[in-house]
Each structure stands twice: as C-alpha cells, then as structure tokens.
Homo-oligomer: A and B are copies of this chain.
Amino acid sequence: MTRSDTLFTNARLMDGTLCDLAVTGGRIVAITPAGMPSDSVETVDIGGALLVPGFVEGHIHLDTSFYGDRWIPHRPCTKGFDVKERVAFQAENMASAAPMDRRARDQLDLCIAQGSLQMRSHVMVDGSVGLASLETILAVREDYRDLIDIQLVAFPQSGILKSPGTPDLLDAALALGADLVGGLDPASFDRDVKGHLDVVFGLAQKHGVDIDIHLHEAGTLGAFTIEEICARTVALGMQGHVAISHAYGIGDLAPDAARRLAARIAQAGIAIMTNAPGNHAFPPVALLRDEGVVVFGGSDNIRDSWWPYGDGDMLRRAEIIGYRSGFYTDAELSAAFDVVTAAGARALRLEDYGIAVGARADFVTLPTDHVPLAVVSVPKGRRVFKGGRLVAAEGRVLR
C-alpha cells in the first residue's frame, strides 16, 4: 500500500462500522476496517466517534448578520410584514453596525466551528450598496479558502425591475466573481414574473452560471412562479442548475396539488432550500423527497434585521427541519440529516463530497453513536477537518 499522509483511526461511519481512513493530499485514499496495518506519516485517533461529511450550509447571508456585533433589538414592521420596510430597516441597521468584513468573519467562524465546510451565501446587490458588499465578501472568502468553500449568489434584495440599474449591477457582480445569479419574489415584489425571470435566466445564460431564487410567495401565487421557473429551466436545458430558496407556497397547497407541483420540480431538476421556519408554512420535505426533489437546508438569516434567531449549526438545523416536519423514525431523522449533508452537496453540485475513497477529506466527528441520535441530541464536542487538516475543535476555529 502507498504511504498516506494521515490515518484517521477508529472512526464510526454512518453505517455503524468502525473504520480507519487514509488521507493523502487532502483526499480520502482508503477506508479499511479499524485496526488494519498502515504506513501513515501521522495518525489521528477518532476514538469511536461518528464521522460524517462536513455540513453544507446552503443558504446564508454573510453580509447582513449582526452575529458577534452588539445586540440590535428587532424592530417590527409598522403594519404587518413588509419586505420593503424590512430592507429599509436593514439599511439603517447596517449604517451603524460593525464593519461587514468583521461580521462576516465572525459568522464564518461560527459556522466552521460547528462543522459547515461548504456554503452558499447570498450577497446583496442593489442600487444602494452597488457591488461594495460583494467586494467585501469576495475578499473574506479568499481569506477563508483553506477553511470553507463558499459559493456567492448575486442577490437583488431590492428587486430587479423595481430597483433601477439592478440588471446591470447583477451583470457586473457575475463578472466580478459571484458564482450564481439570484432573484426575489418575481410576482409579489417586482410585480412582473416574466420580466423578472427574463433578467435572471438571461444573465445565467450569458455568464454560464447557476440560479438560486428567493421565493417567499405564498399559496397558489408561489406555485405559479415555481411553475414558470420550472418551464424556463426545462426550456433552457438548465436541469440541475437551478434552486428555489424558501418556496413557502408549496407548504400552503393541499397534498395532491403539492405532489403534482413536486413532480414538476423534480422533472425540472430544481432543488428546494428550506430552513424550516417557525411560524408559517414551508415546503413539505418528505413529500418533495418522495417525488425525487433535492431538498437542501440553510440557516438563512443569523441574528440580523429580519429575525433574531440562528446559530449557524447545520446539525441543529437538521433537528429543526425534522421537528417542524414531524420526522420521528430513524429513516425520517436520517432524511433530515441528508438535507444538511448529501442533498446539500447535490444542490450545490459539489464534486467529491462524502465519506468515500476519492472524496475530499472534509469531515466532522460527533461524540455520538449514530445519525438519528445525532439529529435529536445535537452533540457539541466536535472536531472539524478540512482536507484532512483539523480546522476546528470544541466550538472554536483553530488558527
């Protein structure tokens, strides 16, 4: 056998077996039953802990969190929830917040320390901030490249058609380094589903990038917009390259209507992101998965102008998704775990993800026996390895 850089011994895999993992050049090169002879340079004893792939944080906002900053009390909208008013509050809050660079780093440390090693972050692009937020987050991403892989979505937080100059800004954002183009409530915010999607899909085609659209629209309006996104995705051959974040509307539909829509989403190869919000409808995770839809998870906002919740722990998110979905059996709890790991990797089109020979050695150890127990107990005391290198332990990023 070839000499590997590091042998991770006594790791409990998700199937319950105790194994040793040989890692060379940041990749898993062999997985053998625990205790086989080895010729590694270094040995790391996993001590029987559960070893799982790094969590996939599929939806976060690195630019707008106040995590690590002072406490900013939530300010309610004047007359019920209003996205435009919230964006205005956010602008006020941001003006007095700590530098974005510092806040983004605090948030990244929080996520990495708990085991997220892959991330998709939306970054606001609009007439007020222009490309400044994206420039900041691109620089932070570069600094964190050895700790976490980050995809950035150019996110039109103020709409596309309602916010003059935004199509050009999104175009410039993609030229500058954003990896995906975003969208926001084509009907309820921009009042023009066709016009909004023309810009989003046009830019995706021009730059050869994927799409991830925020869609908060409820009930049949949300379903209509989803149908339109499905139709364009199929027409352009973009199956596997489009995600819809939130998609609350699916959760408002009767089960038969939801199932028909889910079949259409699956056929279009569109992934659905949910954070399992607390007090309103959200996509039916089991039904969508049954129909073949890739459902992935994200923290969404962490302690920002939209809400005070969020802890950056995708294992906790799996628990929340399970709790909100009525997942009780081992198979259901494992599905919630899949949402924040393998399904997330599929949605983000990550290559070489997982605990397998050839995959990147990005993994997390959990002091517990198996995945269902991990989901309901959310153990801390984790160790986080990126490319086989220990990057976080006991809740802290190591530097």
Residues of A within 8 A of B (CB): 71, 73-76, 278-280, 303, 307-311, 319-320, 322-326, 328-330, 333, 369-370, 372-373, 376-378, 380
A307 to B333, CA, bound (A): 11
Q: Which of A320, A328, A329 has the largest count of B CB atoms less than 10 A from its CB?
A: A328
Binding site secondary structure of chain A: loop
Contacts of A329 in B (CB 8 A): 73-76
In the complex, which residue of chain B has the Cβ closest to the Cβ of A309? B376
11 contacts between A and B (CB under 8 A): A71-B370, A73-B372, A74-B329, A75-B329, A76-B329, A278-B322, A278-B325, A279-B325, A279-B326, A303-B376, A380-B380
Which of B308, B320, B372, B378 is A308 in contact with, Cβ under 8 Å?
Answer: B372
Rounded to whole Å, the gap between the CB of A391 and the closest CB of chain B is 22
Contacts of A74 in B (CB 8 A): 328-330
Contacts of A278 in B (CB 8 A): 322-326
How many copies of the shown chain assemble into the complex?
2
In the complex, which residue of chain B has the Cβ closest to the Cβ of A279? B326
Rounded to whole Å, the gap between the CB of A86 and the closest CB of chain B is 11
On whether the beta carbons of A330 and B377 are closer than 8 Å, the reply is no
Q: Which of A279, A308, A328 has the largest count of B CB atoms less than 10 A from its CB?
A: A308
A324 to B376, CA, bound (A): 18
On whether the beta carbons of A309 and B330 are closer than 8 Å, the reply is no
A323 to B373, CA, bound (A): 23
Which of B280, B311, B320, B328 is A307 in contact with, Cβ under 8 Å?
Answer: B328
